[in-house]
Each structure stands twice: as C-alpha cells, then as structure tokens.
Amino acid sequence: MIRADIFRDIAPVIRDHLVVCNIGIPSQELHAIDDQPTNFYMLGTMGLASSIGFGLALAQDKTVIAIDGDGSVLTNLGTLPTIANNDADNYILLIIDNGSYGSTGDQPTYAGRCTSLAEVAGACGCDHVVECAAEETRAALETAIAARRKTAIVAKCESGNEKHPVIAMDPVVIRDRFMKAVKA
Amino acid sequence: MTIHERIADDLVAAGIGFITSVPCKQLAGVIAEIDRRPDLLHVPCNKEDEGMGLCAGAWMGGKKPCIIMQNTALGVTVNTLATLIQFYRMPLPMLISYRGELGEPVACQVEMAVHTKALLNQLHIPTYHFHRQADVEELPKILDYTFMCNKPVAILTDASFWGGY
C-alpha cells in the first residue's frame, strides 16, 4: 500500500473529524480522494502539520487528526516533546511513514533507514505510540478515536505517489471553510 | 504594578487565550507572570516556527494567540510567516525581545539586531519598537490592531525599555 491507498481506506473514519494535512502530495491526494470542509490543507510550511493540529486540539474539544509524513516530522522533531508534555486527549498524530520525501522525488529519509520515529516519539514522552502496517492504519485510528486519548500512530507504507492536481483553492478559502467547520 | 503584570493584563484584556514562547532573559518576568494567569494557556515550544504552527492552530480553534520570542530567531520563522501566517491571513502578535541594542553585553546579539527591522520590513510586518517605559501604553491598541487586520505584528522590546522598570 502507498499513502493514497491508506487515505482511501481511512477516509470514512477521518471524514467526521478535524484533519490537518501535510504539505504537498499528501494534501493533493486527500483533496482528490475525499475533500471535506473539515480538512485543512497545508499549501506550504513543511513540518508544521503536527504543530497546527496540536494548537487546534489545545484550543477546542473536537477530535483533531494531524496527518504528517516521516520527512516532515524529521524537519520539526521538536514537535514531539511539545505534544508529549501538554494534555490534549483529543489529539491524534498520524505519521504516514513511507521512508521517503514523496513530494520531492521520493528521496530516502532517515526514517527509512535506522531511525525509528515510534521510538523517538516514545523517548520524547508520548504515552500512546502505535506502529502499524499500512493495512492496520484504519483500525489503529478507530481505536484511538474511540479511546479519546492522545495517540501517535506511525503507519509504515510503501513509497509512492498518485498524480492529482495542485490544490487551486485560495488559502483564505481553505482556512475560512475549515474554521466554520470547527465551529459547527 | 510591574511591567510584567501590566503586559499580562493587556494580553488578557485583548482576549488572548493561547501563548507560546521560547525564553529570553529579558522576557523571563513576563513569562513568569503569564504562568500565574489561569486565563492564559501557556504552551512553551522548542523552536519559533513550531510555535507559530501552534498559534495558527489555536487561532483556528477559537483562541487568540501570541508568541513570545527573541529577535535572533526571526530568521528561522521567515518561511512560516510568509507561507502560513500571511498566506492564510492569520493574526499573530509577536512579543519580541530586541537583543543587540543599546546596553547589550553580548556582541553576537548585535549581528541579528542589525537585520531585525530589515527582515520585518521586507516581510511587510507592522513593527512597533518599545524603547521607553511609556511605549507600553500602546500595547492594547497594537493587539486590537493585530486581530482587526489578521496579520502578524511585531513588538520589539529593547534593553532600555526593560531597564526602565
């Protein structure tokens, strides 16, 4: 399974929740597969999906799923201690770990070599860390949502991208639509 | 009333509910005061761009944010300011210690001080410089202005300002 296959599999699960999606091809794929007003698409700013999602979870009660990538987490590793040390039982960090920088040509990341993001998250103090195969992502998400406890899921999948259009929606429209969904 | 209490009062009065920070010696008093305010959720961050991500999320979640940081970190936030805060039109008051100004004992701090206003100017970020004690009186209006126009706004606070208290 590649990232887009995971998105198709989890779309019915995440559709009813607030989602902050990582920059580049991940946002393009999610937008093409299941665009929802509850999705916040990052058009820039590599690395901050987990932080934006965490700020959102701290500010309100609805469940927030931050969809990040292994490369993006590596670029903002400081996010993991912040997540670990502050209470937000409505926060789920889903790291789609395909061991590569998908949006830039599938160059390998260190997470695809000897660095374990699940172990890094655990060492940072994250209590509930689940590493799973791509096929198990949906079940892991359902469990985390039902338990309503802060969880980091590292879903291991194959490297690869689907070709979808660049998101043409204006950023202010994305943001305004999302904020209305947050309030609804 | 101390300047730290006054600034914390102004933040609360402006409706701010979420604060992130990377510490600076000049800002220690304000940060300590913020931690005494139950209305202000303070979530320290590890890097200022990470903090701006937290602020963006908190604002979309309904809490007015503020970041407390040192000017030396401005360089690492340029991309985040341009592609997140400005691109999505989000408000963000930045309470910044302006290190490297008159009274600075550490020469290296001057190296970013000389770029601070130039960077803010290049980014078209409204910038206010607190140099004398009385300058703090503008803080409530600056905060209102920030949330009126949905822009990042910089408040540079130098050693003369803090030394005046």
CA distance B25 to B34: 15
pTM over 0.95: yes
A171/B contact by beta carbon, under 8 A: yes
Banded model confidence at residue B138, pLDDT cuts 50, 70, 90: very high
Model pLDDT, residue B126: 98
Report the first-to-last Cα separation within chain A, whole angstroms. 34
Residue B83 DSSP class: I
Least Cα distance to A153 among A69, A42, A89 occurs for: A69
Q: What is the CATH superfamily name and number for domain B3-159?
A: Thiamin diphosphate (ThDP)-binding fold, Pyr/PP domains (3.40.50.970)
Q: Which of A52, A81, A172 sits opposite B57 (nearest CB)?
A: A52
pLDDT digits (tens, 9 = 90+) for A57-116: 999 999 999 999 999 999 999 999 999 999 999 999 999 999 999 999 999 999 999 999
Residue B39, SS3?
Answer: coil
Residue B87 scores a pLDDT above 60:
yes
Q: Can you give the pLDDT at residue B117?
A: 98
pLDDT at residue number B164: 66
Residue whose C-alpha is closest to residue A77's, from A23, A116, A20, A128: A116
Instruction: Tell me which chain A residues have a C-beta less than 8 angstroms from the C-beta of B65.
Output: 55
Q: Are strands A107-108 and A100-101 parallel, antiparallel or unpaired?
A: antiparallel
Extents of the domains making up chain B: 3-159
pLDDT at res. B55: 99
How far CA B5 is from CA of A29, B36, B68, B95, B129, in Å, comes to 48, 10, 15, 15, 19
Q: Does B18 touch chain A (CB under 8 A)?
A: yes
pLDDT higher than 90, residue A150 = yes
Is residue B165 over pLDDT 80? no
The CATH H-level superfamily of A3-183 is Thiamin diphosphate (ThDP)-binding fold, Pyr/PP domains (3.40.50.970)
Q: Give chain A positions within 8 Å (CB) of B18.
A: 55, 58-59
Dihedral angle sign, alpha carbons of residues A51, A56, A62, A66: negative
CB–CB contact B60 A45 (8 Å): no
